[in-house]
Chains A and B, each alone.
Chain A
Amino acid sequence: MATVLLLAVPVAIHAAWNDPYPAHEQGQNILYTAFRERPKHLDPARSYSSNEYDFIAQIYEPPFQYHYLKRPFQLVPLTASAMPVPVYLDRQGRPLPAGAPVASIAYSVYTIRIQPGIRYQPHPAFARDDRGVPRYHQLTAAELARIHTIGDFPHYGTRELVAADYVHQIKRLAHPRLHSPVLSVMQDYVVGLKDYAANLRREHARLNRKGRGPALDLERYPLKGVETIDRYTYRVTIHGKYPPLLYWMAMPFFAPMAPEVDRFFSQPGLRERNLTLDWYPVGTGPYMLTVNNPNRQMVLERNPHYRDERYPAQGEAGDRQRGLLADAGRRLPFIDRIVFSLEKENIPYWNKFLQGYYDRSVVPTESFDQAVRFTGSGDTDISDDMKVRGIHLRTSVATSTYYLGFNMLDPVVGGNNERARKLRRAISIAIDIEEQISIFRNGRGIAAQGPIPPGIFGYLPGCAGLNRYVYQCVRDAPQRRSLSEARRLLAEAGYPDGSDRRTGRPLLIYFDTPATGPAEKARFDWYAKQLARLNIQLVVRATDYNRFQEKMRKGDAQLFEWGWNADYPDPENFLFLLYGPNKKVGGEGENASNYDNPEFNRLFEQLKNLDDSPQRLHLIGQALEVARRDAPWIWGVHPRQYTLDHAWLHNAKPHQMANNTLKYLRLDPALRRERREAWNRPVRWPLVLVGGVLLAGLIPAVVLYRRRERSTAA
Chain B
Amino acid sequence: MMAYVLRRLLYAIPILIGVNLLTFWLFFFVNSPDDMARMHLGMKRVTPAAIAQWKEARGFDKPLLLNREAAGVEKLTDTIFFRHSLRLFVFDFGRAEDNRDIRREIGERMGPSLAIALPSFLVGLLTYVSFALLLVFFRASYVDVWGVVLCVVLMSISTMFYVIGGQYLIGKLWSLVPISGYGDDGPGAIRFLLLPMAVGIAAAVGLRTRLYRTFFLEEINKDYVRTARAKGLNEWRVLFVHVLRNALIPILTGVVVVIPALFLGSLILESFFGIPGLGSYTIDAIHAQDFFVVRAMVFLGSVLYIVGLILTDISYMLVDPRVRLY
The chain A residues found within 8 Å of chain B, CB to CB, are 2-3, 6-7, 9-10, 13-14, 16-23, 38, 40-41, 48-49, 176-177, 179, 181-185, 201, 271-274, 276, 278-279, 293-296, 341-345, 347-348, 351-352, 355, 357, 544-547, 549-550, 588, 590, 680-683, 686-687, 700-701, 704-705, 708-709, 712
- A296–B42 CB distance below 8 A: no
Q: How many residues on the B side are at the interface (Cβ–Cβ under 8 A)? A: 67
- B53–A22 CB distance below 8 A: no
Q: A17-B177, A18-B191, A184-B50 are in contact. List 17 more A-B contacts (CB 8 A).
A: A7-B176, A10-B177, A17-B175, A18-B178, A18-B179, A40-B97, A40-B99, A49-B42, A273-B104, A348-B274, A351-B171, A351-B172, A546-B289, A682-B176, A683-B175, A686-B174, A687-B176
Is B48 part of the binding interface, using a Cβ–Cβ cutoff of 8 Å? Answer: yes
| Closest chain A residue, CB of each to CB of B193 | A6
- Chain B residues lying within 8 Å of A549, measured Cβ to Cβ, are 35, 38
- B35–A550 CB distance below 8 A: yes
Residues A680 and B175 in contact in the complex (CB < 8 Å), given A700-B143, A708-B235: yes
- Chain A residues lying within 8 Å of B179, measured Cβ to Cβ, are 18, 347-348, 351-352, 355
Is B209 part of the binding interface, using a Cβ–Cβ cutoff of 8 Å? Answer: no
- Which of B43, B126, B178 has the most CB atoms of chain A within a 10 A radius of its CB? B178
- A272–B143 CB distance below 8 A: no
- B175–A681 CB distance below 8 A: yes
| Closest chain A residue, CB of each to CB of B201 | A3
Is B254 part of the binding interface, using a Cβ–Cβ cutoff of 8 Å? Answer: no
- Chain B residues lying within 8 Å of A177, measured Cβ to Cβ, are 57
B102 to chain A, nearest CB (A): 10
A38 to chain B, nearest CB (A): 7
B143 to chain A, nearest CB (A): 6
- Chain B residues lying within 8 Å of A40, measured Cβ to Cβ, are 42, 97-99
- Chain A residues lying within 8 Å of B185, measured Cβ to Cβ, are 22-23
Alpha-carbon distance A687/B271, docked complex (angstroms): 26
- Chain A residues lying within 8 Å of B260, measured Cβ to Cβ, are none
- Chain B residues lying within 8 Å of A342, measured Cβ to Cβ, are 274, 276
- A20–B188 CB distance below 8 A: no
Residues A704 and B138 in contact in the complex (CB < 8 Å), given A343-B274, A345-B274: yes
B233 to chain A, nearest CB (A): 11
Residues A590 and B44 in contact in the complex (CB < 8 Å), given A20-B178, A544-B289: yes
Is B217 part of the binding interface, using a Cβ–Cβ cutoff of 8 Å? Answer: no
- Chain A residues lying within 8 Å of B104, measured Cβ to Cβ, are 273-274
- B176–A272 CB distance below 8 A: no
Near A by CB (< 8 A), chain B positions 181-217 give 181-183, 185, 187-188, 190-192, 194, 197-198
- B187–A13 CB distance below 8 A: yes
B106 to chain A, nearest CB (A): 11
A104 to chain B, nearest CB (A): 30
- B41–A179 CB distance below 8 A: yes
Alpha-carbon distance A2/B35, docked complex (angstroms): 50
- A590–B45 CB distance below 8 A: yes
Alpha-carbon distance A348/B121, docked complex (angstroms): 25
- Chain A residues lying within 8 Å of B272, measured Cβ to Cβ, are 345
- Chain A residues lying within 8 Å of B198, measured Cβ to Cβ, are 3
- B289–A2 CB distance below 8 A: no
Sort A-B residue pairs by CB-CB distance and give the 10 closest, nearest first: A295-B276, A22-B185, A683-B174, A546-B35, A348-B180, A13-B188, A20-B178, A10-B191, A20-B181, A296-B276
Alpha-carbon distance A21/B178, docked complex (angstroms): 9
- Chain B residues lying within 8 Å of A686, measured Cβ to Cβ, are 169-170, 174, 176
| Closest chain B residue, CB of each to CB of A16 | B175
For B111-152 the 0/1 string (1 means CB < 8 A from A) is 000000000000100110000001001100101000000000
Alpha-carbon distance A458/B197, docked complex (angstroms): 56
For B43-73 the 0/1 string (1 means CB < 8 A from A) is 1111110100110010000000000000000
- Chain B residues lying within 8 Å of A14, measured Cβ to Cβ, are 188, 191
Alpha-carbon distance A296/B179, docked complex (angstroms): 15
B302 to chain A, nearest CB (A): 24
Alpha-carbon distance A16/B175, docked complex (angstroms): 8
- A588–B276 CB distance below 8 A: no
The one of B137, B190, B235 in contact with A9, judged by C-beta atoms closer than 8 angstroms, is B190
A88 to chain B, nearest CB (A): 27
| Closest chain A residue, CB of each to CB of B56 | A205
| Closest chain A residue, CB of each to CB of B146 | A700
Is B320 part of the binding interface, using a Cβ–Cβ cutoff of 8 Å? Answer: no
| Closest chain B residue, CB of each to CB of A185 | B45
Residues A546 and B176 in contact in the complex (CB < 8 Å), given A40-B98, A295-B109: no
- Chain B residues lying within 8 Å of A590, measured Cβ to Cβ, are 44-45
- A10–B190 CB distance below 8 A: yes
Is B173 part of the binding interface, using a Cβ–Cβ cutoff of 8 Å? Answer: yes
Alpha-carbon distance A344/B101, docked complex (angstroms): 22
- Chain B residues lying within 8 Å of A293, measured Cβ to Cβ, are 108, 276
Is B156 part of the binding interface, using a Cβ–Cβ cutoff of 8 Å? Answer: no
Is B100 part of the binding interface, using a Cβ–Cβ cutoff of 8 Å? Answer: yes
Alpha-carbon distance A48/B104, docked complex (angstroms): 26
For B20-38 the 0/1 string (1 means CB < 8 A from A) is 0000000000010001001
Residues A20 and B101 in contact in the complex (CB < 8 Å), given A49-B42, A295-B108, A295-B109: no
Near A by CB (< 8 A), chain B positions 277-326 give 280-281, 284, 289
Is B12 part of the binding interface, using a Cβ–Cβ cutoff of 8 Å? Answer: no
- B175–A9 CB distance below 8 A: no
- B138–A3 CB distance below 8 A: no
B203 to chain A, nearest CB (A): 14
B290 to chain A, nearest CB (A): 11
Chain A to chain B contacts (Cβ below 8 Å), 7 pairs: A18-B177, A49-B42, A176-B53, A296-B182, A347-B179, A547-B35, A681-B175
- Chain A residues lying within 8 Å of B57, measured Cβ to Cβ, are 176-177
The one of B53, B174, B281 in contact with A179, judged by C-beta atoms closer than 8 angstroms, is B53
Is B39 part of the binding interface, using a Cβ–Cβ cutoff of 8 Å? Answer: yes
Alpha-carbon distance A2/B177, docked complex (angstroms): 15
Alpha-carbon distance A709/B138, docked complex (angstroms): 12
Alpha-carbon distance A709/B197, docked complex (angstroms): 36
- A546–B38 CB distance below 8 A: yes
A232 to chain B, nearest CB (A): 32
| Closest chain B residue, CB of each to CB of A38 | B98
- Chain A residues lying within 8 Å of B181, measured Cβ to Cβ, are 20, 341, 348
- B143–A704 CB distance below 8 A: yes
Alpha-carbon distance A96/B35, docked complex (angstroms): 47
- B177–A181 CB distance below 8 A: no
- Chain B residues lying within 8 Å of A704, measured Cβ to Cβ, are 138, 141, 143
B40 to chain A, nearest CB (A): 8
A411 to chain B, nearest CB (A): 26
Alpha-carbon distance A605/B6, docked complex (angstroms): 73
Alpha-carbon distance A9/B176, docked complex (angstroms): 11
- A18–B54 CB distance below 8 A: no
- B194–A6 CB distance below 8 A: yes
- Chain B residues lying within 8 Å of A588, measured Cβ to Cβ, are 47-48
| Closest chain A residue, CB of each to CB of B51 | A179
The one of B41, B47, B169, B192 in contact with A20, judged by C-beta atoms closer than 8 angstroms, is B192
Alpha-carbon distance A181/B37, docked complex (angstroms): 13
- Chain B residues lying within 8 Å of A345, measured Cβ to Cβ, are 180, 272, 274
Alpha-carbon distance A17/B175, docked complex (angstroms): 7
- Chain B residues lying within 8 Å of A295, measured Cβ to Cβ, are 105, 108-109, 276, 280-281
- A19–B178 CB distance below 8 A: yes
| Closest chain B residue, CB of each to CB of A545 | B39
- Chain B residues lying within 8 Å of A179, measured Cβ to Cβ, are 41, 50, 53-54
Alpha-carbon distance A549/B36, docked complex (angstroms): 12
Alpha-carbon distance A546/B177, docked complex (angstroms): 39
- Chain A residues lying within 8 Å of B176, measured Cβ to Cβ, are 7, 17-18, 682-683, 686-687
- B101–A272 CB distance below 8 A: yes
A535 to chain B, nearest CB (A): 36
| Closest chain B residue, CB of each to CB of A549 | B38
- Chain A residues lying within 8 Å of B141, measured Cβ to Cβ, are 704
